[in-house]
C-alpha cells in the first residue's frame, strides 16, 4: 500500500487535493479529524484536545487504510499536529513526536502558500502562512522524509501531485 501524506499550512488546499487524488486513483482519502473534533468542541481547544485529535487521526487513518486500493491519501499528518501544538502551547507531547518519527509515508506533499487565503472559522493565522510553510519544510528536511513541494493553482497542483504519485506507482 502506497501512503501519501498531504501536509502544510492552513488554507493551502490539502483537503481539496486529497479528495481530487483519491477520485483520480479510485481510492479513499483520510479526512482531517481535527475539523470535526474542533467543529463540535464548543470551546477553545487545549493541548489535551490536540492529543485527542492525534489519536483520532491515527485511528481514522487505520480505518481508511482497510478501504484503500493501492494508494491512501491522508489530508494531514502528525507533523501538522506537532507544529500546531508547538505554536499554540510551546511544546508537543512526547508520544506525538515519537509517532511522528514512525510515520511511514512513501511521500509527503508539502502544500505551498501561493493560493489565496480562504476564511474559515477554524483557521487562525492568515498572516503567518509563509512562516508556517518554512517551518514545515525545515521539519520535513530534519525528519529526512521524502517530500515534494506542491505549488500552482488547483489544476497545476493536481497534475504535479499525480506525476509524483505515478512515479512511485511505477517503481
**Which residue ranges make up each domain of the chain?**
2-169
- CA dist 53 → 13, 36, 70, 82, 130 (Å): 20, 10, 26, 11, 25
- Pairwise CA distance, residues 146 & 77, whole Å: 14
pTM above 0.85, yes or no: yes
CATH fold of the domain at 2-169: Rossmann fold (3.40.50)
In 3D, which of 153, 10, 159 has the Cα closest to residue 88? 10
Residue-level pLDDT, tens digit, the chain, 171 residues: 999 999 999 889 999 999 999 999 999 999 999 989 998 999 999 999 999 999 999 999 999 999 999 999 999 999 999 999 999 999 999 999 999 999 999 999 999 999 888 867 677 777 889 999 999 999 999 999 999 999 999 899 999 999 999 999 998
- Pairwise CA distance, residues 73 & 84, whole Å: 21
Amino acid at each position: 500500500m502506497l501512503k501519501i501524506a498531504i501536509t502544510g499550512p492552513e488554507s493551502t488546499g490539502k483537503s481539496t487535493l486529497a479528495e481530487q487524488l483519491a477520485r483520480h486513483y479510485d481510492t479513499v482519502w483520510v479526512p482531517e479529524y481535527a475539523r470535526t473534533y474542533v467543529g463540535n468542541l464548543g470551546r477553545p481547544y487545549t493541548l489535551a484536545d490536540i492529543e485527542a485529535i492525534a489519536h483520532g487521526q491515527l485511528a481514522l487513518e487505520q480505518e481508511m487504510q482497510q478501504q484503500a486500493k493501492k494508494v491512501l491519501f491522508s489530508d494531514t499528518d502528525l507533523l501538522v499536529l506537532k507544529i500546531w501544538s508547538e505554536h499554540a502551547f510551546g511544546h508537543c507531547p512526547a508520544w506525538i513526536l515519537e509517532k511522528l518519527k514512525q510515520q511511514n509515508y512513501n511521500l509527503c506533499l508539502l502544500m505551498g502558500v501561493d493560493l489565496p487565503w480562504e476564511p474559515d472559522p477554524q483557521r487562525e493565522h492568515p498572516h503567518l502562512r509563509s512562516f508556517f510553510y518554512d517551518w514545515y519544510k525545515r521539519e520535513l528536511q530534519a525528519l529526512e522524509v521524502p517530500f515534494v513541494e506542491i505549488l500552482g493553482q488547483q489544476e497545476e497542483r493536481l497534475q504535479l501531485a499525480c506525476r509524483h504519485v505515478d512515479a512511485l506507482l511505477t517503481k
